[in-house]
Structure 1
Amino acid sequence: MAERNHRGRPQRRPDQPPAAPGTATRRAALSLLDAALRKGLPLEAALDSAGRGLSRPEDRALALAIAAEVLRRLPDLDSLIDSATQRPLPDDAKARSVLRMALVQTLVLGTPPHAAISTALPLLEGGPRRLVHGVFGALMRREATLPELPTLPPAVVERWRKAWGNDVVTSAARLIAAPPPLDLCFPPERPPELEGISFAPGHLRLPRGQAVVGMTGFGEGQWWVQDFSASVPARLLGRGERRRAFDLCAAPGGKTMQLAAAGYEVTAVDASESRLARLRENLDRTGLRAEVVTADLLEWQPPEPADVILLDAPCSATGIFRRHPDVLHRVRPSAIQALAKGQAGMLRRAADWLTPGGTLVYSVCSLEPQEGEEVARAFLAERSDFRVAPPIGGELPEQLATSPDGFVRLLPGLFEDQGGADSFFIARFVRSGG
């Protein structure tokens, strides 16, 4: 058994060679996988704890990238591992997770096999190093590869195939194969001096992998990072003309900045002070103005009603799986049901804060109809003073589909040849009167 230091961590024996450079980064990645798969935590929420011993931002970024790539390819990595073992390793065995990481580094991230295994074995103090080394070596000698089209978790495939059909499931598998490109949002009248492709006014798409902070216009506040799909809800509210807007569940703030740039007097409300800190930083950087309120939406009471309300409600986030692949492995049907119930309560409460004749946009970055369509239909059944206002010609790109109900549903496959887009549900309601 390995000796332990005063903090309870495994301590290297005098006869053991020192760990290879980069082992600490892999240890952080292993902690991230444990947080997502065993504890059900989002990767980014677990990064501060898992990466506590990493002083360089690039090491933290690599740990996050390794864990995310494992989660993109988890079923296929496990199939490879199982093909090289006489008895299947338990799903939660450390040896399995270490093998997943070594394989994904070699087969996806381009790490040489000797470097991948030399940083993997030290993670198994007192564990089955010989087994892991043997399985990895056998797969390398076999010249094992991963399928071009990743395999999605079976439970996810079942849900999405039932809701959207096989084509959407196939598109989702293609999307998750790689991290997304970089989307910028900005006031349409002040485009940045950058080259890219655009889907709509105020949007620009660039290839991924660029350092955002050093890009032209970032320091001057000319733009902010926001996936195109996430920009659609605010687009359905049009120009502000100094009207009052509530951005509810506002952090990290992309929609707040859209509304402020469109000329609204914005009140941004969110329960998370830490997430609002990022919103305030972006407002300072871009020179845009908004009143920022830290409050629980179910307890907050506005001093006066608003002309427009944007409720981008907390949800399962399964629609942003290509950006956060952990959602496919940690979100359970019970959580989806609870989140849908919470959205209905928020929507019900927010509706009373809207002036007669005002517009309310409800959105979720979810691929689950239980969270989007079902919540919206139940709201309309309860509130006879609200009606759906479908997008009209020219408001949104023609590729965006409107359902027979008048809702907007962004599915995997949208803009796929240009790098894809996150999946969203969006409903625009108008209150009678005014």
Structure 2
Amino acid sequence: MARDMTRAGEPLGTAPRRAALRLLDAVLRRGEALDAALPLATRALHGGPDRGLAHAIAAETLRRLPDLDVLIDSATRQRLPDDAKARFVLRIALVQALSLGTPPHAAIATVLPLIDGGPKRLVHGVFGTLMRQNAALPEQPTLPAHVAARWRTHWGDDMVAAAARAVAVPPPLDLTLRADEVVHPDGVSLAPGHVRVEGGDVPGLAGYEAGGWWVQDIAATIPARLIGRGTGKALDLCAAPGGKTLQLAAAGWQVEAVDVSQTRAERLAQNRARTGLAFDVTIADVLDWAPPAPAQAVLIDAPCSATGIFRRHPDVLYRAHDAVIAEAAALQARVLDRAADWVVPGGTLVYATCSLEPEEGEAQLDRFLGQRSDYAIEPARPDELPQGIVPQERGYVRTLPTMLADAGGCDGFFVARLRRAGG
């Protein structure tokens, strides 16, 4: 029998639930990224639909984890350990029945084979009790306590409430257009060269094969927007998956995209082939590599905790602890300090992170400016930014879950445009 077939005696549909269990184990016990764990966790499945189901179950479990655990704890005499398989299996069963619309009998039948012995009876009993009690999840999910506390300290109660609302549902799909006249799906435009659509199968959307657009959150377009149009040399550092590289190439720059990962560099090359835009790809660690000559513009989308993309990647809420944030901030400082020397006098340096942590944004900027008197903030102008996003008083851009909430929201980003003296 093929490896990806349902095991003998198991209900049809058990295999995707087993894969979802592997995914949750990878994220919650081993600290792996959900997308990075996906290929190995789902390798035994039939194909795309089963892999998609496993990912959907795991992602929705992570969106609802604190509330699922409250329900589980309400129906057990002794609290199950956080890493107990019975707790993991109950989370998967409950999220299907209470959030994904799976009939309760199917939700429990397809997870019971994942556990043996007494825990199986426990899982069946707890699930049955909660179903008889008409248990329900709150409309607004509860954020992990450590995340809510950290964000409340930095940004206040309104931001935490907006983040909880934002994580409740997957966000809409933002498309960046190569040019105004390209074929693209119908949608709402929040900025020049942008269309927001409700989602769907990306390769099946209008204009995909023609390469006239690419998927890119509206907030992620801001760094390249602040560089604007030009004809000189531009470096895009830590560039993959390449949305900002494509923006710069479409704006006329001679772009060199640098990334340390061979796999991510291949995605850059694929995007180049599909869109027909011209740019160079260099596989290198920017801490070891240096360009042959300074550039007129340098864009640093620095490695970070990625807490700003929690809407699409709820696993970051559980992986980005204080130590991860501190480690990312230390790496960002090294990259920023090194790359600052690669900008010609009078040139532009844009520093960005998809993080909601001040250590990776505001504090990083203050540290850098305190050491480099040859750099100053060049304030972003409102007309350079998407509708509903405005610069901070000092001129940099900070996007939060409170922004564009009525239009579908945006990722959390920090973006600062700096001008080097001289020239």
Deviations 1:224-262 (A, max 9, x none): 11111111111001112x211000000000000000011
- Answering whether residue 26 of structure 2 is matched by residue 35 of structure 1, we say yes
CA distance in structure 1 between the partners assigned to 2:233 and 2:226 by the alignment = 15
Q: What does 1:251-266 correspond to in 2, within 5 Å?
A: 251-266=240-255
Deviations 1:46-92 (A, max 9, x none): 01110110131111111111001000010000000001111111100
Partner of 1:292: 281
The alpha carbon displacement at 1:186 in A equals: 1.1
Partner of 2:417: 428
Partner of 2:64: 73
Q: Residue type matched to 1:47 in 2?
A: L
Partner of 2:394: 405
- Answering whether residue 324 of structure 2 is matched by residue 335 of structure 1, we say yes
Partner of 2:43: 52
Among 207, 217, 224, which residue is 1:217 paired with? Answer: 207
Whether contact under 8 Å (2:184, 2:208) holds in the other structure is no
The alpha carbon displacement at 1:126 in A equals: 4.0
Structure 2 counterpart SS, 1:341: helix
Partner of 1:228: 218
CA distance in structure 1 between the partners assigned to 2:293 and 2:141 by the alignment = 50
CA distance in structure 2 between the partners assigned to 1:121 and 1:397 by the alignment = 48
Whether contact under 8 Å (1:188, 1:201) holds in the other structure is no
TM-score, normalising length: structure 1? 0.95
Deviations 1:248-306 (A, max 9, x none): 00000000000001110000000001011111101100001110000001000111111
- Answering whether residue 302 of structure 2 is matched by residue 313 of structure 1, we say yes
- Answering whether residue 227 of structure 2 is matched by residue 237 of structure 1, we say yes
Whether contact under 8 Å (1:179, 1:322) holds in the other structure is yes
The alpha carbon displacement at 1:404 in A equals: 2.6
RMSD of aligned residue pairs (Cα, Å): 1.4
CA distance in structure 2 between the partners assigned to 1:215 and 1:395 by the alignment = 28
Q: Residue type matched to 2:384 in 1?
A: E
Partner of 1:247: 236
Whether contact under 8 Å (1:246, 1:269) holds in the other structure is yes
- Answering whether residue 84 of structure 2 is matched by residue 93 of structure 1, we say yes
CA distance in structure 2 between the partners assigned to 1:320 and 1:183 by the alignment = 13
Structure 2 counterpart SS, 1:427: strand
Between 1:368-377 and 1:185-194, the stretch displaced more is 185-194
The alpha carbon displacement at 1:187 in A equals: 2.3
Whether contact under 8 Å (2:179, 2:212) holds in the other structure is no
Structure 2, unaligned runs of 5 or more: none
Deviations 1:103-128 (A, max 9, x none): 10111110111111111100003451
TM-score, normalising length: structure 2? 0.97
Whether contact under 8 Å (1:191, 1:202) holds in the other structure is no
Structure 1, unaligned runs of 5 or more: 1-6
CA distance in structure 2 between the partners assigned to 1:108 and 1:188 by the alignment = 40
Partner of 2:367: 378
Whether contact under 8 Å (2:190, 2:387) holds in the other structure is no
Between 1:123-132 and 1:384-393, the stretch displaced more is 123-132
Partner of 1:3: none
- Answering whether residue 103 of structure 2 is matched by residue 112 of structure 1, we say yes
CA separation of 1:382 and 1:375: change in aligned 2, threshold 3 A: same
Q: Residue type matched to 2:72 in 1?
A: I
CA separation of 1:102 and 1:284: change in aligned 2, threshold 3 A: same
CA distance in structure 1 between the partners assigned to 2:67 and 2:381 by the alignment = 43
Whether contact under 8 Å (1:388, 1:406) holds in the other structure is yes
CA distance in structure 1 between the partners assigned to 2:378 and 2:343 by the alignment = 15
Whether contact under 8 Å (2:184, 2:205) holds in the other structure is no
Q: Residue type matched to 2:372 in 1?
A: R
Whether contact under 8 Å (1:408, 1:425) holds in the other structure is yes
CA distance in structure 1 between the partners assigned to 2:83 and 2:184 by the alignment = 49
- Answering whether residue 10 of structure 2 is matched by residue 19 of structure 1, we say yes
Between 1:398-407 and 1:192-201, the stretch displaced more is 398-407
CA separation of 1:195 and 1:398: change in aligned 2, threshold 3 A: closer
Q: What does 1:338-357 correspond to in 2, within 5 Å?
A: 338-357=327-346
Q: Residue type matched to 2:326 in 1?
A: Q
Structure 1 counterpart SS, 2:9: coil
Partner of 2:131: 140
Q: How many residues align?
A: 419
Structure 1 counterpart SS, 2:358: coil
CA distance in structure 2 between the partners assigned to 1:361 and 1:325 by the alignment = 27
Q: Residue type matched to 1:107 in 2?
A: L
Partner of 2:191: 200
Identity of aligned residues (%): 59
Structure 2 counterpart SS, 1:77: helix
CA distance in structure 2 between the partners assigned to 1:218 and 1:338 by the alignment = 38
CA distance in structure 2 between the partners assigned to 1:62 and 1:135 by the alignment = 24
The alpha carbon displacement at 1:398 in A equals: 5.0
CA distance in structure 2 between the partners assigned to 1:423 and 1:198 by the alignment = 19
CA distance in structure 1 between the partners assigned to 2:353 and 2:274 by the alignment = 27
Structure 1 counterpart SS, 2:111: helix
CA distance in structure 2 between the partners assigned to 1:280 and 1:167 by the alignment = 41
CA distance in structure 2 between the partners assigned to 1:126 and 1:346 by the alignment = 52
Among 385, 392, 403, which residue is 2:381 paired with? Answer: 392
The alpha carbon displacement at 1:393 in A equals: 4.1
Q: Residue type matched to 2:369 in 1?
A: L
Q: Residue type matched to 1:119 in 2?
A: T
